[in-house]
Chain A
Amino acid sequence: LAKTTQPISMDSYEGQEVNITCSHNNIATNDYITWYQQFPSQGPRFIIQGYKTKVTNEVASLFIPADRKSSTLSLPRVSLSDTAVYYCLVGPYGGATNKLIFGTGTLLAVQP
C-alpha cells in the first residue's frame, strides 16, 4: 500500500483558506485518496475522497494533479472548530477498514 507524507503541523487564523498537501509517489492505479479528520478524544471522521482532478463537497475540496503523486486538501474559511489532525490515506476503495493505513497526520491549529 502506498505510503503518504504530509506536514506534521500547520497554523492558520480564522477565516483563512488552508491547504494541506500530501505526497504519495507510489500510488497504484486502483488507489483512491481519502482524507479523514480527527478531533481529540474522538474517532477519525471521513472528509472527502477522490481519484483524479478535483472533488468538492460541503466541507472541503480535494485537488489531484494528473500524475496523482500528490494531493491537496483545501479547507475554505477555517474556524476554531477546524482545529484537528488531518490524515491523508491512499488505498483501494477508500473505506475498506482493513486497508486503511494512517500516518501521523497533520495537526492543524486555527487561532482567532
Chain B
Amino acid sequence: NAGVTQTPKFQVLKTGQSMTLQCAQDMNHEYMSWYRQDPGMGLRLIHYSVGAGITDQGEVPNGYNVSRSTTEDFPLRLLSAAPSQTSVYFCASSEYRGTEAFFGQGTRLTVV
C-alpha cells in the first residue's frame, strides 16, 4: 500500500515555464487536495476535489489548475511559473467524513 505518491520530489523551473506536479493515491479516497508550504508557515490550500470530475478552489488558487479524471490521480498544473510559486507542495487525500488526511512526501519547487 503506497498511500499518496508525489512526483517529482524536486524541480527547478525558469520563470514562464509550465509543468505538472503529479499526485496519485491507492486508497480509493474521495477527497484530494493540494497545499503549498512556504518557509516557517503552515500549509495553505490551493485546490481540492471531492470526487472524480469535481474540483474547486482553495485559499490560494491563482496560477494553478487542476483536474480529476480518475479517483486515483489529481495533477496540479503550473501555467506560467513565477518566483512567488517557489514552495514545497503537498498532496493529500482522505475519505469522505474520514478521521485523518494522508499526505505525500512533497515536491520542492524552485522557480528562478
Q: Which of A58-105 contact B (CB under 8 A)?
A: 87, 93-98, 100-105
Q: A87-B42, A93-B97 are in contact. Are A98 and B103 (CB under 8 A)?
A: no
Contact (Cβ within 8 A) A44 B43:
yes
Q: A94-B100, A98-B48, A104-B40 are in contact. Are A43 and B106 (CB under 8 A)?
A: yes
Contact (Cβ within 8 A) A98 B31:
yes
**Residue from the set A34, A42, A94, A95 with the largest chain B CB neighbour count within 10 Å:** A95
Distance A93 CA – B44 CA, assembled complex (angstroms): 18
* Chain A residues, Cβ within 8 Å of B99: 34, 46, 49, 93-95
Number of interface residues of A (CB under 8 A): 22
* Chain B residues, Cβ within 8 Å of A105: 42
Distance A104 CA – B37 CA, assembled complex (angstroms): 10
CB proximity of B88 to chain A, nearest CB, Å: 8
Q: Which of B73-112 contact A (CB under 8 A)?
A: 90, 92-106, 108
Q: Which of B21-68 contact A (CB under 8 A)?
A: 31-33, 35, 40-45, 48, 50, 56, 58
* Chain A residues, Cβ within 8 Å of B104: 43
Interface residue A29 (Cβ < 8 Å from any Cβ of B):
no
Q: A44-B43, A103-B42 are in contact. Are A96 and B58 (CB under 8 A)?
A: no
Main secondary structure of the interface of A (DSSP, over half): loop
CB proximity of B7 to chain A, nearest CB, Å: 14
* Chain A residues, Cβ within 8 Å of B106: 41-43
* Chain A residues, Cβ within 8 Å of B90: 43-44
Q: A41-B106, A96-B94 are in contact. Are A46 and B31 (CB under 8 A)?
A: no
A-side residues, CB < 8 A to B, are: 34, 36, 41-46, 49, 87, 93-98, 100-105
Q: List 29 A-B contacts (CB under 8 A).
A: A34-B99, A41-B105, A41-B108, A42-B106, A43-B90, A43-B92, A43-B103, A43-B106, A44-B43, A44-B101, A45-B103, A87-B42, A93-B98, A94-B98, A95-B31, A95-B94, A95-B101, A96-B31, A96-B96, A96-B97, A97-B31, A97-B32, A97-B92, A98-B31, A98-B58, A100-B33, A102-B43, A103-B42, A104-B41
